[in-house]
Amino acid sequence: MFDENDTVLDTPIEDGPDPGEFIRAAMRWHFDPRTGSPFWLARAKTLDFDPLTDVKGVDDLALFPNVCDELRDVRVEDLVPRGYGENPEICGIFESGGTTGQPKRVVLLRDWFLKSQGWLSSTLDAHGVPRGANWLMMFPTGPHMGGYAYARLAKDRGGHLFSIDMDPRWVKQLISSGRTDDARAYAGHLLEQARYVLRSQDVGVLAITPPVLERLAVDDELTELVRNKVKAIVWAGAHMDASTRDLLGSEVFPGLALVGFFGSTMMLHSCGQRFTEDVGECVFDPPAPFITFRVVDPDSGKQVDHGARGRVVVNHVSRSFLLPNNLDRDEATRVPGPRGQVGDSLADVTPVQVFDGEAVIEGVY
């Protein structure tokens, strides 16, 4: 049921569709009664502007209200655009990490998932992450999109997957209730499971969250196993500061590719670290115009200057999903994107301490 006139929405990420043409096509798709989702068609009646005539480019996405909190309660069926027909190819229903209360939910459709995965894999290639290697994945699975996506990356790149599951919400509950010893014990439990895999199996890629990686790095046996077997470490799901990246990359795991990803369930994607010879630099470029960033002053909402810090606003615009003007729980330094990229790129991403009135607790994820 796709509109042949709006095939720009199906352009591969790497081909970089014209941002204005792309955004206008997306507005026609998401706000046409024949193709839009029930959620956005109903929400359109409450807007004080007309998306079909007033939204002409990426900057105009700021006209939208931030509807992210509404995803805590909306029926997931209402998030699927009607244009996909009666039997849309749904990969899964995924939830936010629950860092700030009741989780939000999104629907991951196959066409966007394949696009996103291809982009992630290209990023891994750029950083020299080997194909054909087995992965050990220490990410949350279940309702968490990260585990789903990275598990399939391992298989798509020709390797077998070993996985250690984790429950980040339980760890956050432990920390918020002051049970830090129990939280540390849980992290130790995760590492013991990884130890069994690393001792006996060939593992070329370790996919892990930064808090768990930091714990692993002070365990002599695990550190030696990773040095001897692993060729690349992929980190995601939480934040890693510059000094930690430098220590891990230069001293603890020298010679291994250390590749970061910044993403979220609401973004429906993870943005890979820009490839550079400077191991201390960590910049994230989005696959614009499908996903774009804007770094703003949290009080005024105005974009900050390059080199200044501010809150991250994320836009996701694809055929399968629309979530514009989402004020993220992170802050970052605004940096210019690669030539031709619309929107900002991000450096030195860190979580805010309080988001939506709730303390932000990362825990293990």
Q: What pLDDT digit, counting tens, does each position of 340-350 carry?
A: 999 999 999 99
Residue 155 backbone phi and psi in degrees, to 5: -70, -40
Query: Is residue 14 situated within a structural domain?
Result: no
**Enclosing domain of residue 242:** 108-357
From CA 309, how far away is CA 297, in angstroms rounded? 8
Query: Is residue 259 situated within a structural domain?
Result: yes
Residue 359 neighbours by CB under 8 Å, 6+ apart: 176, 353
Calculate the CA dihedral of residues 261, 55, 81, 328 and round it to 10 degrees: 30
Query: Is residue 2 situated within a structural domain?
Result: no
Query: Is residue 161 a contact partner of residue 135, using CB atoms and an 8 Å limit?
Result: yes
* Residues in the chain, overall count: 365
Q: How far is CA 162 from CA 139, 150, 157, 208, in A?
A: 11, 11, 14, 12
Query: Is residue 244 situated within a structural domain?
Result: yes
Peptide bond preceding 289: is omega within 30 degrees of 0, i.e. cis?
yes
Provide mean pLDDT across the span 299-315. Answer: 97
Q: Per residue in 123-170, pLDDT tens?
A: 999 999 999 999 999 999 889 999 999 999 999 999 999 999 888 888
From CA 140, how far away is CA 168, in angstroms rounded? 7
Query: Is residue 43 situated within a structural domain?
Result: no
Query: Is residue 362 a contact partner of residue 351, using CB atoms and an 8 Å limit?
Result: yes
Assess whether pLDDT exceeds 80 at residue 304.
Answer: yes
Assess whether pLDDT exceeds 60 at residue 335.
Answer: yes
Report the range of poorest mean pLDDT among 88-97, 168-177, 245-254.
Answer: 168-177
Assess whether pLDDT exceeds 90 at residue 356.
Answer: no
Query: Is residue 40 situated within a structural domain?
Result: no
Query: Is residue 129 a contact partner of residue 162, using CB atoms and an 8 Å limit?
Result: no
From CA 225, how far away is CA 72, in angstroms rounded? 42
From CA 112, how far away is CA 193, in angstroms rounded? 33
Amino acid at 214: E
Assess whether pLDDT exceeds 60 at residue 311.
Answer: yes
From CA 258, how far away is CA 235, in angstroms rounded? 8
Confidence of residue 5 (pLDDT cuts 50, 70, 90): low
Q: Per residue in 211-233, pLDDT tens?
A: 999 999 999 999 999 999 999 99
Strand spans (E) along 57-129: 90-95, 105-109
Question: For strand 232-235 and strand 205-208, is the pairing parallel, antiparallel, or unpaired?
Answer: parallel
Assess whether pLDDT exceeds 90 at residue 171.
Answer: no
Residue 13 neighbours by CB under 8 Å, 6+ apart: 115, 118, 119, 287, 290
Query: Is residue 122 situated within a structural domain?
Result: yes
Q: What is the pLDDT of residue 281?
A: 79
Q: Which long-range contacts (CB under 8 A, 24 or more apart) does 226-230 make?
A: 226/198, 226/253, 226/256, 227/253, 227/256, 229/198, 229/202, 229/203, 229/204, 230/136, 230/203, 230/204, 230/205, 230/206, 230/256
Query: Is residue 179 situated within a structural domain?
Result: yes
Amino acid at 150: Y
Query: Is residue 295 a contact partner of residue 304, using CB atoms and an 8 Å limit?
Result: yes
Provide mean pLDDT across the span 281-298. Answer: 96
Q: What is the CATH number of the domain that holds 158?
A: 3.40.50.12780
From CA 338, how far away is CA 345, in angstroms rounded? 8
Q: What is the pLDDT of residue 111?
A: 98
Average confidence score pLDDT of the chain = 93
Instruction: Tell me how many domains the chain contains.
Output: 1
Assess whether pLDDT exceeds 90 at residue 65.
Answer: yes
Say what the pTM is: 0.93
Place of tokens 């009666």: 86
Amino acid at 48: D
Vertex 29 angle, CA 24 and 32, to 5°: 115
What does the DSSP 8-state code read for residue 321?
-
| Of 207, 165, 157, nearest in space to 186 by CA | 165
| Of 273, 321, 15, nearest in space to 145 by CA | 321
Q: Maximum CA pair distance of the chain?
A: 61
